[in-house]
Structure 1
Amino acid sequence: MKVDREMEILLNEIPLLHHVGLLGGSEAGADDDADLSFLIHELAAMGLVDGDDELPAPGAATGYGFPTKGENLVAMHSFSMASHYAHMRSLFVPVTFDDAAAADGWDIRCSPPPYVPLPSPATPRARCKSVRRKNGSVMTTSPKKCGAAAAAKWHGESLAGLRGVMYHMARDQHGCRLLQQRLDDGKREVDYIFAGVSRHAAQLMVDPFGNYLMQKLLAVCDDGQRMTLVLTLTADPFALVRISLNVHGTRAVQKLIERLSAREEIGLVMDALRPGFLELIKDTNGNHVVQKCLHSFASNDNKAIFAAAALHCVDIGMQIHGCCVLQRCIARSRGEHRDKLVAAIAHNGFKLAEDAYGNYVVQVVLDLKIPTANSSLAQQFGGKYIHLSMQKFSSNVVEKCLKVFKEVDKAKIILELLATPHLEQLLPHCYANYVVYSALKNSKGSLHSALINAILPHEELLRTSPYCKRIYSKFFLKN
């Protein structure tokens, strides 16, 4: 009860007043004429003690343990922190008033508070600006609950009055679902929803629920509304990049890219994505946005992507997501854009061939069978085929070279294999054995016979080594 709480606080304050000398103690330099009648009146007003209309005469016994005028309270009741903790309990420990009175000599009489009937609970209503009390403070209802309440109230009714809370509805699971359903009701409802959420497009695109509404809104809005969304999203140079990097936002941006048709819209989106191209292309979510641009836009619209890919081909080609985007760039580029990109990759072919991801990019370039590119790669690989054949990733590139190179360049690879003084080390090697097998398959004539003759002395090794089973079964069991 409130009265009990206030009484306990006053009881705990009495020893502290002793301690600081406020009750007339000479050690604290207090005034000898200090009058404590005000404290008695406060206790009487609270119903803790019996108050009198008139103050007690000087020197008369008060009955409350208070010193009379001129008496030294410190001399009467010496105070120490130890005695204070011994007699005065913590405010947080329940105290019975009988025990307190017995311990301190207080005559406590506290009448119960008057009974006040509680108001009957009102019927709960969903209101956006409703308030509630919690720990003595006023709190407003959360916006998401406002959105859910609005969704429940306005199901099946006009959306004209929901513009103020439509953003909050879109971030609520049920509210977002309702708005998506209302988008199918015609142009009027689309206009209402667009007016309510278009200003918050960037926030809704990264929202777990709001992104679904934005995707559907992009599919049904007209050209003017779509242009408004594009201008909103590209006003901040990095806003569209941040949205594309988000796990929810990437889907909404991909849907936006699918719906773009005007050259002006495409130009605005490409200009907004360009500053974060390198980050987007390496990101789990962002790389899908770049690939959607490559798939949806014409080659000339993607020229900025092709130029950046050629400039950073080594950096992105040696990354798990980047190598996929780089392969898509090769497939979608045309004319001079593809020539520059292929030339840049071929120029760095040896470094990429040894990489876990870059080797796939080199193989794609080899499959194009562009004479200038393959010639550049053959020149870089020459004299290093043994080294490349004994590595996990580059051995795949050597196998591809044996398939797509011209006969002259194939002969150089096979001659390098024959010239090695330790062919018996390549045959049982876990990676090089595939290169030898591919050389046997893609050679013919005298070169093929020379390779067979070099392998024959090692027939016993081929029979026992687990890595030579393919070579032995294909070229020796038949004979």
Structure 2
Amino acid sequence: MDAENFVASRPFSMDKDRERALFDPFPFSSTCFDAAVDDDWDLLCPPARSRLCKTARPKKGTCSNGCQATSPKMCAAAKPSKYESLVGLRGYMYHVARDQHGCRFLQQRLDDGKREVDFIFTGVARHAVDLMVNPFGNYLMQKLLAVCSEEQRMGIVLTLTKDPFVLVRISLNVHGTRAVQKLIESLRAREEIQLVVAALRPGFLELIKDPNGNHVVQKCLQSFGADDNKRCIARSTGEHKEKLVAAIARNGFELAQDAYGNYVVQYVIELKVATANASLAQQFEGKYIHLSMQKFSSNVVEKCLKVFKEADKTNIILELLSAPQFERLLLHPYANYVVYAALQNSKGSLHSALTNAIRPHVELLRTSPYCKRIYSRALLKK
């Protein structure tokens, strides 16, 4: 099965009705809702609907403004965002969270203390999946993840990971990607991280290729340790692992320069998958000098010099030797490690060519704080 069919066979996309429901805005203006809350409406709608609709009966008077639901106050006269009581929103928190002004009100109340956090959490936690992909609700979820307790955060994680591919679908969404990144950033407990990694693993290939999902992958690389990221690959098996390794290799040049992505590329190199390493060698060719002079990618070049086939190692060293100002590599805080790795992993005439290129700069090496390891190489003192 090719990569495209593999991805197409996975249920990442939502059906249109479901997607429409997720983004259907709160069906009532914020001003009308404010008036309803302030005037203590007797709401007859069942909690499952939680809408201020025609079945809502005002306890006093009617609105002369022609609203779908009636209020004792004229909606035009109501002040926007006049939410004053969380208690008055009990049972309607989910809809308030999807309203622009209501969401802003709830975010502000999260700063008031633990009691308010607990109250809002109780009202929205079970709707985490829908809110994370909502244009307004995703901001509330981000704020909630930043202030909730560890136990509450675990509750949200369990909600998001209990069904297959749910977290992947959220990550692919333009609003959901932000909320998932905040979730990843907030994780602390080992169990939380394992649940999230396990939930994202089946869609890792699609996430890498998607502009929204790619940000989630990058956040994993930044927030999780190298071991967690390696484990995501190590626990994959069969065809899925092959496609995952191939996807990482295809993005190797970009990942090699990332603070955490470089560890994943190094891990893939160590697997010694011929096609993956050939792909990386092709991408890096002509760019080894550039990669050697960067903090993160220099580690990848060192790994290439240790693991790649002899022909590829030779190409790396010859490219380094072709540098217009070879001494710049010797004196560079990162590239000097690459030169040292080249010395350690070369032999014969290639090693001789390398040492001959270094010897004219011995005086510089002797005084440079970065080059003592190269100068002290016994081979250079022969």
Say whether the fold is shared (TM-score over 0.5). Answer: yes
| Distance of aligned partners of 1:372 and 1:298 in 2 relative to their CA distance in 1, 3 Å threshold | closer
Identity of aligned residues (%): 50
| Distance of aligned partners of 1:150 and 1:182 in 2 relative to their CA distance in 1, 3 Å threshold | farther
Q: What is the one-letter code of the residue matched to 1:367? A: S
Deviations 1:75-121 (A, max 9, x none): xxxxxxxxxxxxxxxxxxxxxxxxxxxxxxxxxxxxxxxxxxxxxxx
Q: Which has the larger radius of gyration?
A: 1
Confirm whether residue 249 of structure 1 aligns to residue 173 of structure 2.
Answer: no
C-alpha contact 1:211 1:248 (8 A) present in aligned 2: yes
| Distance of aligned partners of 1:313 and 1:359 in 2 relative to their CA distance in 1, 3 Å threshold | farther
Any gaps of 5 or more consecutive residues in structure 2?
A: 1-33, 42-51, 57-66, 70-76, 324-337, 361-382
SS across alignment from 1:185:
coil
| 1:166 paired residue number | 93
C-alpha contact 2:208 2:247 (8 A) present in aligned 1: no
SS across alignment from 1:301:
helix
| Distance of aligned partners of 1:339 and 1:186 in 2 relative to their CA distance in 1, 3 Å threshold | closer
SS across alignment from 2:188:
coil
| 2:298 paired residue number | 367
- Which deviates the most, 299-308 or 274-283? 299-308
Q: State how far apart, in whole Å, the 2-side matches of 1:316 and 1:371 are.
A: 16
| 1:120 paired residue number | none
Q: State how far apart, in whole Å, the 1-side matches of 2:146 and 2:195 are.
A: 19
| Distance of aligned partners of 1:270 and 1:372 in 2 relative to their CA distance in 1, 3 Å threshold | closer
Aligned pairs for 1:9-408 within 5 A: 126=36, 128-130=52-54, 152=80, 155-156=83-84, 158-307=85-234, 311=242, 312-319=244-251, 323-325=253-255, 327-328=257-258, 329=260, 331-332=262-263, 338=266, 341-344=269-272, 348-355=276-283, 367-368=298-299, 370=302, 373-374=305-306, 376-380=308-312, 399-400=319-320, 402=322, 404=338, 406=342
C-alpha contact 1:342 1:373 (8 A) present in aligned 2: no
SS across alignment from 2:211:
coil
How many pairs does the alignment contain? 268
Q: State how far apart, in whole Å, the 2-side matches of 1:168 and 1:300 are.
A: 40
| Distance of aligned partners of 1:164 and 1:280 in 2 relative to their CA distance in 1, 3 Å threshold | same
Q: State how far apart, in whole Å, the 1-side matches of 2:273 and 2:214 are.
A: 19
Q: What is the one-letter code of the residue matched to 1:304? A: R
| 2:8 paired residue number | none
Any gaps of 5 or more consecutive residues in structure 1?
A: 1-123, 133-138, 142-148, 386-395, 416-438, 447-479
> What displacement does 1:194 show?
1.0
C-alpha contact 1:234 1:240 (8 A) present in aligned 2: yes
> What displacement does 1:338 show?
4.7
RMSD of aligned C-alpha atoms? Answer: 4.4
- Which deviates the most, 299-308 or 269-278? 299-308
SS across alignment from 2:111:
helix
Q: State how far apart, in whole Å, the 2-side matches of 1:175 and 1:363 are.
A: 50
> What displacement does 1:189 show?
1.4
| Distance of aligned partners of 1:360 and 1:184 in 2 relative to their CA distance in 1, 3 Å threshold | farther
> What displacement does 1:274 show?
0.9
| Distance of aligned partners of 1:379 and 1:202 in 2 relative to their CA distance in 1, 3 Å threshold | same
* TM-score of the two chains, using structure 1 as the length reference: 0.46
